[in-house]
Amino acid sequence: MDCIFCKIVAGEIPSYRIYEDKETLAFLDVGPVNYGHTLVIPKKHVENLETIDEETLGKVVMTVKKVGRSIKTGLGAKGYNIGLNNDQVAGQIIPHLHFHVMPRTEGDGLKLWPQGKYGEGEAEEAMKKLKAQFN
């Protein structure tokens, strides 16, 4: 497989590993948005959020929590953002599920996405379409 994250897991590509257990790996992002920006991945290859089994996802989220705590205590960050780009159209560059844990400090310049508003009847229409998927 030609997945860069699988190669990092296998030790074929060097990385700055900050946490590892049997199922997950956390390492510094090579293109950080802020100092300490960390990626958390499952060790087994899964492309996106829909393809990961629930047990492994739970373990990945627990690692995200540990990394978040380490960012606050180890780096003194006041908070952090967790990001997931799910599929290419959403900005996922590496087709291996990964969560971004990005440290935040006052005035760091990182902006959140712009917020819009629903037009007349659009929220109800969206709600109905989404709820229908659960039936």
- How would you list the strands of the sheet with 17-20, edge to edge? 17-20, 24-28, 38-42, 99-104, 79-83
Q: Is 8 helix (H, G, I), strand (E, B) or coil?
A: helix
Question: How far is residue 39's CA from residue 32's CA, in Å, rounded to a whole number?
Answer: 10
Q: Is 62 helix (H, G, I), strand (E, B) or coil?
A: helix
Catalytic, 37? Answer no
From the list 37, 45, 96, 98, the catalytic residue is: 98
| C-alpha 72: how far from chain center | 17
Tokens 């659009």 sit on residue:
122
Catalytic residue ranges: 98
